[in-house]
Amino acid sequence: MRTLREIPPLREALNECRRRGQRVALVPTMGNLHDGHLALVAQARRRGDVVVATIFVNPLQFGAGEDLDAYPRTLAEDQAQLEAAGCDLLFAPATTAVYPRSLAAQTRVCVPEVSEGLCGGDRPGHFDGVATIVTMLFHLVQPDVACFGEKDYQQLAVIRRLVADLHVPVEIVGVPIVRAADGLALSSRNGYLDAAQRATAPALYRTLCTLRDALEAGADSDDTLADGLARLREAGFAPDYLELRTADLEPVTANTRDAVLLAAARLGPTRLIDNLSLTLPR
């Protein structure tokens, strides 16, 4: 696996792949890789001849007071994991290579509506930052296919919308959440949890499972969500949101069948997110 830090050698390497007619699969990450990321690489390996991963802790998607400085940077370990997973090229640029001017002067991509509410409500500007870096990576790598985790359900919806709206010629693949044995969705932020918080954390997934079962059995959604919030608070979480939406993140109606439960909740300073798809009864 080659690691490239600058844009010109990245373009050169990818031009060479395209001259050979190879199909390029992209896995964008912020590093500190775990088995969820490796599932993205495995999916990319199946769908492309050349797998390109990126590691870039994107300052544009962090708000004031968020964990940009504390975000774990583990490049050597990440390189070893990517290499073992069959990645061919790693692009790991410095911030100045990506954003040579000040962040305030940076052109941004804004994806309205689907970015609003849920995590977009709690983290203003977050999805503009994600949409901007992902659009930039699509231009730099020009992948045939790009893989993103379903844990960041709203992020995946934002990326699908930007690809549709800007006619970006890339296939977007969502990869199912990878969970620990106790149900906790894998996340780089799980590393912030102390032992007691880590023991509490799986209650987020367990609560979503309980609510899914109730909703699929026909329970009233307002009552079920109120019960869910109470369960999360009782377990020790400070919930940011718990919502039931259509699979496309629209408000549910009497006709909705394919739905998704989405939650964000804090344990101490750590914000965890999770989601669970379900089928509402007729």
Q: Which of 34, 37, 126, 167 is catalytic?
A: 37
Residue at shortest CB range from ligand PAF: 28
Cβ burial of 218 (10 Å; 0-12, 13-18, 19+) is exposed
DSSP strands (E only) in 21-165 = 24-29, 50-55, 89-91, 145-149
Task: Judge contact between 113 and 121, C-beta under 8 A.
Answer: no
Nearest to 245 by CA among 154, 151, 152: 154
Nearer to ligand PAF, 109 or 193 (CB): 109
Question: What is the smallest separation between the CB atom of 250 and ligand PAF, expressed in angstroms?
Answer: 23
Give CA torsion, residues 8, 5, 187, 52, to 10 deg.
Answer: 50
CA trace torsion 33, 38, 43, 46 (10° rounding) = 120
- By beta-carbon proximity to ligand PAF, the closer residue of 120 and 228 is 120
CB atoms near residue 57 (< 10 Å): 18
Rounded to a whole number of angstroms, the minimum distance from the CB of residue 138 to ligand PAF is 11
User: At its nearest, how many Å lie between ligand PAF and the CB of residue 66?
Assistant: 12
Query: Which residue do the tokens 């993103």 mark?
Result: 148
Would you say 26 or 244 has its CB closer to ligand PAF? 26
- The minimum distance between CB 20 and ligand PAF, in angstroms, equals 27
Closest approach of Cβ 188 to ligand PAF, in Å?
Answer: 8
Paired sense of beta strands 258-267 and 238-246, if any: antiparallel
Binding site for ligand PAF (CB under 6 A): 28-30, 58, 61, 130, 133-134, 152, 155
Contact 2, 13 (CB under 8 A): yes
Whose CA is closest to 89, among 57, 54, 56?
54
167 is catalytic: no
For ligand PAF, which is the closer residue by CB, 24 or 214? 24
Residue 52 phi/psi, 5-degree rounding, is: -115, 120
Between 29 and 275, name the residue whose CB sits nearer to ligand PAF.
Answer: 29
Measured from the CB of residue 236, what is the shortest distance to ligand PAF in angstroms? 26
Strands, E assignment, the chain: 2-4, 24-29, 50-55, 89-91, 145-149, 171-175, 238-246, 258-267, 270-279
Q: Residue 78 or residue 152: which is nearer to ligand PAF going by CB?
A: 152
Q: Please identify every residue annotated as catalytic.
A: 37
